[in-house]
Amino acid sequence: EDQVTQSPEALRLQEGESSSLNCSYTVSGLRGLFWYRQDPGKGPEFLFTLYSAGEEKEKERLKATLTKKESFLHITAPKPEDSATYLCAVRPKGAQKLVFGQGTRLTINP
């Protein structure tokens, strides 16, 4: 069964304190791994799609990496406005739908 597990469930950091969020997955063939950011009361905002092990993508203070079993979302020198829930999802090959993890709730204190 295709499955996505995110850790930690919640993370509190001080402004400027870099860290990483983990997304472990098991899937019967990977078409893509996705990272989204979701603010309270809003729909998820697309961040990245990764397709193969070794791939990396960056956007501002965020960098996503991918291995055959997990993905990391690295956040460098975060600011309070980076506080949000970060969702990871996989799209199995041959499937249309995404399989989501439970998310990591990130809080950046000023």
Binding marks (x or -) toward other proteins, 21..50, rule CB under 8 A?
----------xx-x-x----xxxxxx--x-
- Residue 101 as a binder of other proteins (CB under 8 A): the answer is yes
Which residue lies nearer to other proteins by CB, 25 or 34?
Answer: 34
Which residue lies nearer to other proteins by CB, 77 or 99?
Answer: 99
Interatomic CA distance for residues 57 and 49, integer angstroms: 8
Burial class of 50 by CB neighbour count within 10 A (0 to 12, 13 to 18, 19+): buried
Phi and psi at 51, nearest 5°, equal -115, -35
Applying CB under 8 A, among 21, 64, 87, 108 the residue interacting with other proteins is 87
